[in-house]
Amino acid sequence: MKVLVTGVKGQLGHDVVDELTKRQHEAVGVDIEEMDITDLASVEKTIKDVNPDAVVHCAAWTAVDAAEDCVDKVRMVNAAGTEHVAKLCRELDIKMMYISTDYVFSGTGTNFWEPDDLDRQPLNVYGQTKYEGEIAIENLLDKYFIVRIAWVFGVNGKNFIKTMLNLGKNHDKLTVVCDQIGSPTYTYDLARLLADMIETDKYGRYHATNEGICSWYEFACEIFRQAAAMGRSEYDPEHLTVEPVTADHYPSKAKRPSNSRMSKEKLTENGFERLPSWQDAVARYLKEIEF
């Protein structure tokens, strides 16, 4: 199978290309230099030249706070750009996978969001434009996967784990938000699941994160616990204290969801193997990076 992967320079796109290649698929990774998704002509030329059997659309504007100051630009990338890709997938009758986000939901309450919940009420520009991308796909295509992910970390790029490790080196006390709940997602694990999915025709909306839920505070504590267990004493409790605080201690331009619990039962129902626990993912990830 030949698969076009957008956003290949990002954490996830990089790992998806690697996983597809391991499976002997022909993976063609593109970024803005090869295909500007905001330009329909560029999308048409690239996709027709590649002539893939499927597209995995990872490219997106993901700078959440910056998005609040440039709504039109973000909408061109996340909504119009996605619509452009979907139009070509429809024209060529090829399957499309769209990587979406927990931010399409309002983030209220404590229940787990279901993949097919239609009451999507994004809190910020990033979430709203990713939601508009979902709508474009649903309106244009039948052969699509919408896969919502959250709290992503991978080797190829910036993420929460790298930020915490860097801060922990230079501070003896950190405060981390404790009232936003979700599930971390390791791109290496996620890429394997996405490859499993794109090899099938079990279309629809899905949620895909590592198993288990935590707060950002609990996530940080586990990162430091495991780093200390690897012999890095600067991260142990004698050298570094981590205290929980509520989100209002860190005012931001974009409002964040407090509840990003997402149900993954649909993966099981369709025969897909769910990802390992987020704690297990952190352990494997720390062995992959230099810190």
User: Which positions are catalytic?
Assistant: 126
CA angle 268, 271, 276 (to 5 degrees): 55
Q: Please return the burial class of 31, using the count of CB atoms within 10 Å of its CB with bins 0-12, 13-18 and 19+.
A: middle
Return d(Cα 273, Cα 247) in angstroms, integer. 34
Return d(Cα 95, Cα 90) in angstroms, integer. 8
Q: Which residues are registered as beta bridge partners of 145?
A: 97, 204
Q: Which residues are registered as beta bridge partners of 261?
A: none
Terminal Cα distance for the chain, rounded: 37
Strand bridging mode 214-215 / 181-182: antiparallel
Return d(Cα 67, Cα 62) in angstroms, integer. 8
How many other C-beta atoms are found inside a 10 Å radius of the C-beta of residue 139?
A: 9
Among residues 207, 197, 212, the alpha carbon closest in space to that of 149 is found at 207
Placement of tokens 């434009």 in the chain: 129
